[in-house]
Amino acid sequence: MKNVTFRELKDTGTSFWIVQGLLGIVILIGLAAAYYMETNGHWVTGMNNQIVWGFPHVFAVFLIVTASGELNLASIASVFGKAPYKPLARLSALVAIAHLVGGLMILVLDLGRPDRIIVAMTSYNFRSIFTWNILLYNGFIVLSAVYLWTMMERRFNPYTKYAGLGVFVWRTILTTGTGSIFGFLVSRDAYNAAIMAPMFIVMSFSYGTAIYLMTLETLAYWAGRPIGENLIIRLKNLLGTFIAASFYFFLAYHLTNLYAAQRQGVEYFLLSGESVYSQIFWIGQILIGTALPLALLYSSLGHSRLIIYLACILVVIGGLSQMYVTIIGGQAYPLTIFQGYEASSSFFDGQIATYTPTIYEALLGIGGFAVAAFLVILATRMLPFIPSSLADADIDERLVAKDH
């Protein structure tokens, strides 16, 4: 019976300090941008009375959804008992926690009054999905940490499956809650759909697998640790399946809206090609984020690690495009305040809202990504998260993990 030995990421030389230093600078720039928006007011951003969730929310929701999907690899190992994925479980839980923290950092700093988060954490309105999400986000971090503990502390290894099952159920509820934020907004024609919850779950699988694969490949290459061809192909096929499943949900969502007479207006707005959102949808989400990755992964070039890495990058671009169209495009279309009636006043009723993101919003969003990367690299430097070898000869159906 073969063993998998986990070791810290200590064989990177001075490059560790260089990378962490650069990430630290990016984080500080993001915090400076948040401070500038906080002290000057949100008029320095592209947001307005119609578009209240701006570019930072695109990054934040993407990272939160991605965090749930990144834990999928650990769930496959612990909950569904797939032994080849067990060496990937520790890193899976780590990157999930890190990306959720990065996303929440953006979310809190984009509130306009970050100190008001204390009110949300101490005064609960259980009729609000936002209240439930605060509980779900904190619970996700705690349960993921417990899950990691059971994997890394040999005495508690027998409880790993139960901890994995608990966090699997929790993250499913969490992503359902994130999708329901949009699904429950009845006055927004682009939202208000029950399919939002399962669609966000499937999207999380796609985004999470792509970023996890990139993280694993980068860290393993950096530390000079081999990854077997069979494992890469497994992950590549898993990613392709999730991309196709996400496309199915996109298709079902838009076809259903096109069929419903009251939703046809917003669908033409998002898909007709006349707005910037339709261009982002067709070019960013469908072409770059769906068609090209599927073509690359299942073409004759699909066995190349460089091509797989490129496909992952395209999925991330497509995911950000999807979030931009959903979050900002959905707000740009006029509110339907009274169903079946037209409302008009001097306050932009019935008009398409305009929005142009600013550099401050982009820097805050990029800072969230930098926080996640910084935490992952720091944790893998200090604790044994990455196997010393993932070569095919070291991965079979019977694995026992041990620390160095």
Using DSSP bridges, classify how beta strands 2-7 and 386-387 pair: parallel, antiparallel or unpaired. Answer: antiparallel
Q: Which of 106, 12, 7 is nearest to 56 (CA)?
A: 106
Rounded Cα distance, 391 and 229, in Å: 8
Q: Residue 264's pLDDT band (boundaries 50, 70, 90)?
A: confident
pTM: 0.91
Using DSSP bridges, classify how beta strands 2-7 and 399-403 pair: parallel, antiparallel or unpaired. Answer: parallel
- In tens, the pLDDT along 150-165 reads 998 888 888 889 998 9
Written as one letter, the residue type at 77 is A
- In tens, the pLDDT along 334-376 reads 877 666 666 666 666 667 888 999 999 999 999 999 999 999 9
Q: Nearest 5°: phi and psi at 403?
A: -80, 165
**Using the 8-state DSSP alphabet, how is residue 44 labeled?**
G
- List Cβ neighbours of 388 (8 Å cut-off, separation of 6 or more): 5, 6, 7, 225, 404
* Residue 390 bridge partners (DSSP): 227
Q: Nearest 5°: phi and psi at 9?
A: -90, 70
pLDDT of 399 strictly over 50? no
**Using the 8-state DSSP alphabet, how is residue 343 labeled?**
-
- List Cβ neighbours of 139 (8 Å cut-off, separation of 6 or more): 170, 174
214, 314 in Cβ contact below 8 A?
A: no
Which structural domains are found in the chain, ordered by start?
2-403 (1.20.1630.10)
pLDDT of 2 strictly over 60? no
Looking at mean pLDDT, say which of 39-53, 353-367, 376-390 comes out highest.
353-367
More confident residue, 313 or 399: 313
pLDDT of 398 strictly over 80? no
Rounded Cα distance, 268 and 314, in Å: 26
Q: Which of 387, 380, 389 is nearest to 88 (CA)?
A: 387
Q: What is the percentage of the chain residues whose pLDDT exceeds 70?
A: 92
pLDDT of 315 strictly over 60? yes
Q: Residue 124's pLDDT band (boundaries 50, 70, 90)?
A: confident
DSSP 206-243: HHHHHHHHHHHHHHHHHHT--B-HHHHHHHHHHHHHHH
pLDDT of 39 strictly over 60? yes
pLDDT the model gives residue 401: 43
Q: Which of 300, 86, 99, 130 is nearest to 207 (CA)?
A: 99
More confident residue, 185 or 68: 68
Tally the residues of the chain: 404
Rounded Cα distance, 207 and 266, in Å: 26
More confident residue, 112 or 230: 230
Q: What is the mean pLDDT of residues 70-93?
A: 86
Look at residue 399 and give its three-state secondary structure. Answer: strand
Q: Residue 68's pLDDT band (boundaries 50, 70, 90)?
A: very high
Q: How big is the CA angle at 398 (ends 393 and 400), to the nearest 5 degrees?
A: 95
pLDDT of 403 strictly over 50? no
Q: Poorest-confidence range of 32-46, 70-84, 389-403?
A: 389-403
Look at residue 403 and give its three-state secondary structure. Answer: strand
* Mean pLDDT estimate for the chain: 87
Q: Poorest-confidence range of 6-15, 258-267, 356-365?
A: 6-15
pLDDT the model gives residue 205: 94
364, 106 in Cβ contact below 8 A?
A: yes
